[in-house]
Chains A and B, each alone.
Chain A
Amino acid sequence: MSETIDLWIIIVALGVGSFGLRFAFLGLVGDRAMPEWLLRHLRYTAVAVIPALVAPLVVWPSATGGEPDATRLAAAAAAFATGYFTKNVFAAMGVGATVLVSLSLLL
């Protein structure tokens, strides 16, 4: 019983907390002008946070117990290179997935 209550405390706290983080600027700043130095930093949010999120997953995948894995490295490189040179997200996902699956089957 108390385990169920704890679980719902976790769920609700995470829900409220996550919404708070997502609403923080969107809700409270709204259409007020932000200073130029802050906007300059925010322009690079996506290109900083996304590689930071992905890099450890690529180099030390949890599925292999943190051991670097040739298949995953190759698939990651293929997806990134395709996206970078063609600017086509669909093509990049397709190439990455194809390399991942075909190398997993071969090796």
Chain B
Amino acid sequence: MAAGTAMSSYWRGVRDGLPFLAVVGPFAVLFGVLATEAGLAVHETMGFSIVVIAGAAQFTALQLINENAPTLVVIASALAVNLRMAMYSASITPHLGPLPLWKRAIAAYFLVDQTYAQSILDYERNPNQTLAEKYAYFLGVMTPICPPWYVFTFLGAVLGESIPPSLGLDFALPIAFLAMLGPMLRTPAHRIAALAAVVLALAFAWLPFNAGLLVAGLGGMMAGAQAETRLGIKP
């Protein structure tokens, strides 16, 4: 019975993760193309996508490698872009923390923007899931997102410049995140957190190393927590 419900959670996750293929595919192809243009060999490009598995950080690193930035600057900047992953890790710990260490390590490796956001959305909508169901759901969401990240990076690296730059491809990522944001804004505290984060992100966009994102993220979280306490909102 338990295995059965975990299995159905897995497939529910696959179904919910599937639309992200439309985002991850083009994004990964683009990385493959740009990496090849920057002079990286196919195995080096694949190394990036498999070892690092973080779109925004990979693009940042590539950009700086192209500009001949010092190795340490490349590493520090790309990791700064990825600092939000620590926030995701903290946020998902109340749900996946009780798993055995090796399963937590697997979840950590596959913890990217899309797997995190979709899983948290589902855990909040369906709070009565067992630990096994939550983990199975996470792996389900990951399935159409992470392996395709490798495959499409490879296609981009091999096909290279024969792929024409298409209309508004760069904008697939913002559209996908905005689509997910709407259903997440369940209470006034959630809406206040999001609004504060937008204002801060635009006000501090000038900060170097993507620090504006962290200021805005932390500021939004504080605004949400304050609103929850002061307005007496049930989380």
Contacts and interface: CB of A to CB of B under 8 A. Distances in A.
Interface residues of A, number: 77
A27 B111 CA distance: 12
Nearest to B16: A89
Contact of A75 (B96, B175, B212): B175
Interface string A43-85: 1111111111111111111110000000110011001111111
B108 A7 contact: no
A26 B89 contact: yes
B182 A49 contact: no
B22 A57 contact: no
A82 B179 CA distance: 7
B175 A100 contact: yes
A75 B169 CA distance: 13
Contacts of B101: 27, 30
Contacts of A4: 44
A4 to B, nearest CB: 8
Nearest to A103: B168
Nearest to A100: B168
B94 A52 contact: no
Interface in B115-145: 116-117, 120-121
Contacts of B172: 97
Nearest to B41: A4
B178 A83 contact: yes
Contact of A23 (B108, B184, B197, B198): B108
A93 B176 contact: yes
Nearest to A87: B183
B185 A15 contact: no
Interface residues of B, number: 93
A39 B94 CA distance: 8
Interface string A1-17: 00010111111111101
Contacts of B217: 45, 48-49, 52
A37 B21 CA distance: 36
B82 A37 contact: no
A52 B213 contact: yes
Contacts of B85: 18, 21-22
Given A25-B86, A31-B97, A48-B194, A76 B111 contact: no
27 contacts: A14-B57, A18-B52, A18-B57, A21-B86, A23-B105, A24-B86, A25-B86, A26-B89, A27-B101, A27-B104, A45-B217, A49-B217, A50-B180, A54-B174, A71-B168, A72-B168, A79-B175, A82-B182, A83-B183, A89-B180, A90-B19, A92-B179, A92-B182, A93-B176, A96-B178, A100-B171, A100-B175
Interface of A: 4, 6-15, 17-19, 21-27, 29-32, 34, 37-63, 71-72, 75-76, 79-90, 92-93, 96-97, 100-101, 104-105
